[in-house]
Structure 1
Amino acid sequence: MIKKRIVSIFLSSMLIAGTLFVHPVFAEPEFKHEQAFWNKNANVPIFVKEKLAKKHASSNPANALNYLDETDVGIESPEENLKIKSAETDELGMTHIRFQQVKDDVPVDGNEIIVHFNQNNEVVTVNGHYNKNVEEQSINTEAAIKENAALDIAKASVQAPSELSFEPTVELVVYPFEGENYLTYKVNLSFLGDNPGNWFVYVDAHSGKVIDKVNALLHADIIKKQHHKGVGNGVHGDLRHLHTTKEIMKGQGAIFKLYDESHDGLEGIYTYDYNTLEVFENNSASWKDEYQSPAVDAHYNSEKVYEYYWEEHGRNSLDDNGMAIISYVHYGTNYNNAFWNGRFMAYGDGDGEFMVPLSAGLDVAAHEMSHGVITHTANLQYRFQPGALNESFADVFGALVDEDDWEIGEDIMAPAAKAEGRTALRSLSKPSKFPVSEERAPYGSGYYPEHMDEYYDMPLNVDNGGVHVNSSIPNHAAYLIGEQIGKQKLGQIYYRALTVYLTPTSNFSDARNAIVQSAIDLYGEGSAEVQAVESGFDQVGIY
């Protein structure tokens, strides 16, 4: 949720006037600089005071903090109010220093600032979100209740089962919510079952009251192992060539399993049966049984998505550190959905009328796995515009991996749905050809919007504030851009924006700025790619 007085800082390199551009939430504060000039050694204009235009000795956190301290960007005492989170140098030679806003060393949830240096150690861009209200307000950051008590309160508030899928996490944060700033325990609970959840619960660290909660389900003998190639039939009968594992146990012969540990640096790709909670296994290398077909598709598609991120972006799995890629199929009963729960993918079998098993869709797999990439990069909050961007980036990468069209879910629609004209879940090329659900329809036209004039103003308790509906607006912008420059360049630009510029609370305007800046970084100021990005966002009303 976007709060009053949170300053959304984006020093746009597109502007060459003498005023430092700051994207506001409600009112735009003006930050005047003495001089603005073109730095011919970078692809962007820089806006700094003349005394700071000299080259820094290095692109490091200390120099980034000095820049913020000596430049009027509205952050008081950066060394006190910002804590280093990461420092990375990319393939262009740019260094990106990411800071977390803190209050008395306690993180301010969702508020980050990124300082970007060029290869000559000069600051060229600063962006992010910073909460002035938290900075100025006196907040008691000493917790009155213990972590264990907050954990019990959080579990009770979401009716979590006694057995969780993963160990819960508890972090003390300052949480700006509905005009107030609370010291809270941010509790993450992940579980499966009839009502699966990946809950983030904010428990007041003084009173024990639940301030807010959001479900971010983005839905004894030695065994000898051998990498093995198998074949199988997918949901639609497609022949899939699979990388599996052959296990040979002394005295018991060989068994074949749907896990692949053949990729260097990757922990593995694992496909489980939710009904047994075990990795799929078979007596032969041929996976042709109908019950196995959703697993065949999930396993095959997981590797395809992994290969896309590795080959196109040099990213090693969802966390860029080789984390295991895990899928569960046969989730639920007649379950018309798939989700990323923060740690793995789960695919329902569909009801046979509206949907077939959802693992059949390469774009669905790419969408869910991209939520994992988003979690480990910008970590866009799953509500309102940041949540809609979360869904949009997942859709865009779904359409990039499944490069045949601009539809999402065309391979998971059952015959009855197709007969009624529902040939896909969503369309990036023409969002308005599909209706939204009955619950969401009263807040707009009843169809997916493709322009900000059609934006759905939805409460948090409906679709987390419209994350699956309003996402179609930036989706359409991506389509318009991609049609001009091609999917390969679109992917490079969007991946850079996601991993370099966006922060947890970025809104649609922030995304435009980030994507334009990424195009400038990659292809140069005034390039056809930059013009295509600006045109795409102009056409959907995101300025």
Structure 2
Amino acid sequence: MKKKIFVPILITTALISASLPYSNVLAVQPEAQAESVTAKKWNENANVPLFVKEKHAAKRSAVSSADALSFLNENKTKLNMKNPQGNLKLKKKETDELGMTHFRYNQTKNGIPVEGAEVLVHYNEKNEIIAVNGTLNKQLEENSLDTTPAVSVKTALETAKASVDAPSTLDQLPSSDLVIYPFQGKNHLAHKVNLSFLGDEPGNWYVFVDAKTGKVIDQYNAIMHADEIKTQKGVGIGVWGEHRQLHISRSKPERGGTVFNLADYSHEGLEGIITYDYSKGYLEVFHGKDASFKDDFDRAAVDAHYNSEQVYEYYKHEHDRNSLDDNGMPIQSVVHYGEDYNNAFWNGTFMVYGDGDGEFMVPLSAGLDVAAHEMAHGVTSNSAGLVYRFQSGALNEAFSDIFGALIDDSDWEMGEDIMAPAAREGGRDALRSLSDPSRFPVGAAYVPYGNGDGMYPSHMDEYYDLPRDLDNGGVHINSSIINHAAYLTAQDIGREKLGKIYYRALTVYLTPDSDFSHARESIIQSAIDLYGEGSPEVAAAAGGFDSVGITE
């Protein structure tokens, strides 16, 4: 077994309780019960954060990063931290609608950020610190590490490009950050390179190049399966023949004439909702000669543009979130991608939709839940940052499915509007089901890693112990367990409250390395924040997880 580097930080509603035994708060994992906190083995499928609770909170003098760090320093022994004031760097400060303030810190070593290691400190509206959670790399706290790179950023970029066979011309500028990357029991100084491109084999690759040796340590594809301009009204017809009211804009190119663009700048504080065409192999704003988009070629773009605005409106009205990053970033979609391409994905910048093959799928932009799913990946990328592997990756996919079903609220299925008539006739009327996951089979390659039934799992008893090279360790497969927990909770409290609880957990409590156990506790804590201890909403949040075998 590989040695576990990250040590969970206790979460508390005040000063850490020393009397509560750790074993009482460890969740049952799919393979085996976790070992003691100080001697856990490395298990990438079961990184279990701890939550410890206490009834009383001590009032602090101020709500500030300096005060939060002072609190951590005062309690570093109980928190099992060595030097929080010296090793934690503020990443984000947020105040939510409940008046709570949250400080999110990244662990550092010699000023270099540690990948995936984050600590959060939460204040209530009375200036009381009520919770601390996260993960910490204890090896780095206790041992020295040379953090002077011997390999240049330029060399690392070239190595990364070669390792993923990236095209010579990228759609977006690559980025590189110097980080400390824990991998297979060792801490590496690494250049974290992000390469994003479309083309025949689209990628949103993260490649970790050893900054000492120049060799690739690890890599994964985080594709998540997008003159004065004045906005005016337009119309269009969608994939299934729906008449859509659209916000579009008009421009006058240098070559003369007037074109009408699927580009919406009508929302204050939002950089725009823009839809692109990729049918020629490059990005071009989707446009026409007039304000009516009713040709067959237009239909996929009409739905992508219309659905993007619906999803934007949901987050704005339900959660007061301004776009995917909560800071007005443009919402961008790409249609007519690939040939007979039965997929859609979020590449870190765009929602990208294939046209389907007409046999199994129609253009994937037809599904409001598909658009909501891809845009939720953008929300996750800009909040919890759930790493797209194993349980954290399954949570990433689950939150996208859940918000897809909340926004397209006609049922609890995913992708019912993108299935072609032939697929429906053959019994495949959706991609996944939150209400009854086992209604659909998984791919043949996944079957040997489950319980033999070969269906999507609804319970931890049916968990697929997949290797990292199959579905990134089961991100699309095991997500259905979390999906079903959310569905069961919604049967007791409704969609609106479910959305508020899960959104809060995603944006306030979850961290990049969170697993199913941490998700349970984060969601329960979110329900407590919103509705109070002992409320029906808290019972429903816990009950959903209990019913799928994710227990305390």
Q: CA deviation at 1:432?
A: 0.3
Task: State the distance in 2 between where 1:2 and 1:259 align.
Answer: 50
Amino acid at match of 1:102: T
Q: 1:335 to 1:73 in 2, by over 3 A?
A: same
Counterpart check, 1:272 vs 2:241: no
Aligned residues: 523
Residue 110 of structure 2 corresponds to: 104
Aligned with 1:389 (options 383, 387, 395): 395
| Correspondence for 2:293 | 287
Q: Which amino acid aligns with 1:295?
A: A
Aligned residue number for residue 463 of structure 1: 471
CA-to-partner distance for each residue in 1:229-275, whole Å, 9 max, x for gaps? 11111000011111111235699553211111111111101111102
C-alpha distance in 2 between matches for 1:2 and 1:542: 24
1:19 and 2:20 are equivalent in the alignment:
yes
The 1:231/1:177 distance shift into structure 2, 3 A limit, reads same
Q: Secondary structure at the match of 1:439?
A: helix
Among residues 71, 90, 94, which one is paired with 1:88 in the alignment? Answer: 94
Does residue 514 of structure 1 match 2:518? no
2:467 alignment partner AA? P
Kindly indicate whether residue 313 of structure 2 is the aligned counterpart of residue 307 of structure 1.
Answer: yes
**Which of 405, 415, 420 lines up with 2:411 in the alignment?**
405
Code of the aligned partner of 1:537: F
Q: How does 1:322-341 map to 2 (within 5 A)?
A: 322-341=328-347
Kept in 2, the 8 Å contact 1:234–1:294? The answer is yes
Partner of 2:8: 8
Matches of 2:101 and 2:472, distance apart in 1? 34
- Superposition pairs for residues 228-243 of structure 1, below 5 Å? 228-243=232-247
Deviations along 1:410-452, whole A, 9 cap, x unmatched? 0000112112211100000000000011222221131100111
Cα distance change of structure 1 residues 119 and 23 upon mapping to structure 2, 3 Å threshold: farther
* Alpha-carbon separation, structure 2, partners of 1:17 and 1:154: 46
In 1, Cα distance between equivalents of 2:460 and 2:492: 21
Moved more, 226-235 or 332-341: 226-235
CA distance in 1, matches of 2:59, 2:313: 39
Offset at residue 23 of structure 1 (A): 5.3
Alignment map for 1:153-172 (pairs within 5 Å):
153-172=159-178
For the residue of structure 1 that corresponds to 2:115, the secondary structure is: strand
Unaligned runs of 5+ in 1: 31-43
Residue 536 (structure 1) aligns with:
544
Aligned partners of 2:207 and 2:244: how far apart in 1? Answer: 41
CA distance in 2, matches of 1:451, 1:287: 45
> 1:19 is aligned with what amino acid?
L
Distance 1:247 1:179 in 2: 56
Q: Report if aligned partners of 2:465, 2:473 keep a CA contact under 8 Å in 1.
A: yes
User: Of the candidates 436, 444, 463, which is equivalent to residue 438 of structure 1?
Assistant: 444
Q: What's the CA shift for 1:284? A: 1.9
Report the counterpart of residue 498 of structure 1 in structure 2. 506
Which residue, 222, 225, 241 being the options, matches 1:216? Answer: 222
Mean Cα deviation higher: 247-256 or 175-184: 247-256
The answer (yes or no) to whether the contact 2:6–2:117 under 8 Å persists in 1 is no
Residues 203, 221 of structure 2: 8 Å contact kept: yes
Give the letter aligned to residue 262 of structure 1.
Answer: S
- What corresponds to 2:534 in structure 1? 526
Measure the CA separation in 2 of the matches of 1:137 and 1:45. Answer: 31
CA separation of 1:492/1:461 partners in 2, compared to 1, >3 Å: closer, same or farther? same
What is the alpha-carbon distance in structure 2 between the residues aligned to residue 450 and residue 3 of structure 1? 30
Coordinate RMSD, CA, aligned: 2.1
SS at match of 1:91: coil
Map Cα deviations across residues 15-45 of structure 1 (whole Å, 9 max, x no partner): 9994276758943449xxxxxxxxxxxxx96
After superposition, give the CA deviation of every residue in 1:186-207 in whole Å (9 maximum; x if it has no partner): 1000011000000000001111
The answer to whether the aligner puts 1:122 opposite 2:128 as a matched pair is: yes
Structure 1 residue 353 displacement after superposition = 0.6
Equivalent pair of 1:399/1:405 in contact (CA under 8 Å): yes
Distance 1:77 1:529 in 2: 38
Moved more, 462-471 or 410-419: 410-419
State the alpha-carbon separation in 2 of the partners of residues 250 and 446 from structure 1.
57
Residue 59 of structure 1, aligned match among 39, 53, 63:
63
- In the TM superposition, what is the alpha-carbon distance from 1:225 to its structure 2 partner? 3.4
Change in Cα spacing, 1:253 to 1:517, as seen in structure 2 (3 Å) is same
Q: Is this contact kept in 1: 2:5–2:185, CA < 8 A?
A: no
TM-score using structure 1 length: 0.93
Aligned match for 1:141, one of 147, 157, 160:
147
Q: Which residue in the other structure is 2:357 paired with?
A: 351
Distance 1:167 1:251 in 2: 28
Task: Quote the residue 1:478 is aligned against.
Answer: 486
The amino acid across from 2:302 in the alignment is: V
Distance 2:141 2:420 in 1: 53
Tell whether 2:203 aligns with 1:197.
yes
Query: Does the 8 A contact of 1:47 with 1:124 survive in 2?
Result: no
- Report deviation, 1:283: 1.7
Sequence identity (%): 60
The DSSP-based 3-state class of the residue aligned with 2:240 is: coil
The answer for the alignment partner of 1:184 in structure 2 is 190
Q: Secondary structure at the match of 1:19?
A: coil
Deviates more, 1:122-131 or 1:363-372: 122-131
Give, in whole Å, the separation in 1 of the partners of 2:171 and 2:2.
Answer: 31
Corresponding residue SS for 2:258: strand
Superimposed CA distance per residue, residues 438-497 of structure 1 (whole angstroms, 9 cap, x where no aligned partner): 222221131100111111001110000000000000110000011110110111111110
Letter in 1 for 2:248: T
Whether the aligned pair in 2 keeps the contact of 1:173 and 1:185 (CA below 8 Å) is yes
**CA spacing shift, 1:2–1:515, aligned 2, 3 Å:** farther
Once the two structures are TM-superposed, the CA of residue 138 in structure 1 deviates from its matched residue by: 2.4
- Mapped to 2, the partners of 1:314 and 1:2 lie a distance apart of 42
| Counterpart for residue 260 of structure 1 | 264
